[in-house]
Amino acid sequence: MTAAQTQSFNAGFILLFAPVFAGLWSWLGRMNKDPNTVLKFGLALGQVGLGFLILGWGVMFANEDYKVPLIFLALAICSTQLVNSSCHPWGFRRLPNCRP
């Protein structure tokens, strides 16, 4: 698989996760259980760290050409897209509200 072909992973994860998170945030909002912005950003930051841990773990499986198995790239992109999907509806407009 070429590097250009792996670019479709992100689009696939967007199509997979966007409706799920849109429904989740809408449902939680109707139930008055929507987490606050700081908690959402905290969860997103943890997911970003998880993506980097996945890539760090994948390095241990690199071959002599320094190629990492494709599953680690897919998992890292998935983790990053989870962050994007969980933060996107209200996005970075609320970021200044998260400072101490």
Quick one: how far is CA 48 from the chain centroid? 7
- Segment 20-49, tens digit of pLDDT: 888 888 898 899 988 887 787 788 889 889
pTM of the model as a whole? 0.76
**So what's the pLDDT on residue 93?**
59
What residue segments make up the domains of the chain, in order of their start?
8-98
- Segment 39-98, tens digit of pLDDT: 877 888 898 899 899 989 999 999 898 888 999 989 998 988 888 777 765 555 555 666
CA distance 83 to 49: 10
